[in-house]
A = this chain, B = another copy of it.
Amino acid sequence: MSPSWIRLVSSLKRLPGVGPRMAERLALFVLRSSDGEELAQAVLDARQKLSRCETCGVFTEGTACRRCQDDSRDPGVICVIEEVGDLDAIERSGSFRGRYHILGGVLSPLDGIGPGQLRIDSLLKRVKASASNGRSVKEIIVATNPTVEGEATASYLARLLRPFEVRVTRLGYGMPSGASLEYADELTVTRALEGRQELAAE
């Protein structure tokens, strides 16, 4: 096999959820179809133009996303989520009109993901800053997924947030344990938002 083919297949194999067979199938596709050129350009374009919103962390063009500039959204409630798919799920439910904060993942020592790899510092700064600029954050809803790592991350955040005068809540038990927020239906997400409970620091 030629070097360009090997490079292409091994690049595709690094994508999450793509095994050796699928990598070869995708390689053929991007070679045979003009969609291959468009895909490469879309990746380069997105990597050049998109960066995380300085406030909430969603990928956006520019330094501030649409939602963080939307004054109709309550700046007093911040919903902390793992990634943008979770944001989409909550927005689809139509039950939340506050702000978001994307962690970029969850604590997972086995994968080498500690607090430094997540957007936790920026969350604390946000809460601190809100106190001084008079748009005080009153509640932080920790909406990490109900998995072992998601729960551990929630507890960790609750401990960090204890010094601040802010209510820390967790999504309600509308969510079946072990499930992923990204795939939940709208009603389940709505119930989970309504049934949110105090998250006590241990």
Which residues of chain A in 52-97 are interfacial with respect to chain B, using CB atoms and an 8 Å cutoff?
59-61, 83-85, 88
- What distance in Å separates the Cβ of A95 from its nearest Cβ neighbour in chain B? 20
The answer to whether the Cβ of A40 comes within 8 Å of any Cβ in the partner chain is yes
The answer to whether A24 and B61 touch across the interface, beta carbons within 8 angstroms, is: no
Q: Contact at B43–A40, with CB atoms within 8 Å?
A: yes
Contact across chains for A31 and B47 when beta carbons are under 8 A apart: yes
- Decide if A182 is an interface residue (CB 8 Å cutoff): yes
Question: Does A49 lie at the interface of the complex (its beta carbon under 8 Å from any beta carbon of B)?
Answer: yes
Q: B31, A37: Cβ atoms under 8 Å?
A: no
Q: Does A199 contact B (CB under 8 A)?
A: no
Inside 8 A of A113's CB, which chain B residues have their CB?
A: none
Per the 8 Å Cβ criterion, residues 1-54 of A in contact with B are 2-5, 7-8, 10-12, 14-17, 21-22, 24-33, 35-47, 49-50
Q: Does A45 lie within 8 Å of B7, measured CB to CB? A: yes
Hey, which chain B residues are within 8 Å of A182, CB to CB? 21
| Inter-subunit contact B40/A85 (CB<8 Å) | no
Are A45 and B4 within 8 A (Cβ)?
A: yes
Do B36 and A43 touch (CB < 8 A)? Answer: yes
B4, B24, B60: the one contacting A85 at CB < 8 Å is B24
- The 7 A-B pairs of least Cβ separation, nearest first, read A11-B42, A40-B43, A8-B46, A40-B40, A11-B39, A4-B49, A2-B61
Known: A2-B50, A4-B42. 13 other contacts (CB 8 A): A3-B61, A4-B46, A4-B49, A4-B50, A8-B42, A8-B45, A11-B43, A14-B35, A15-B26, A15-B39, A28-B84, A30-B47, A31-B50
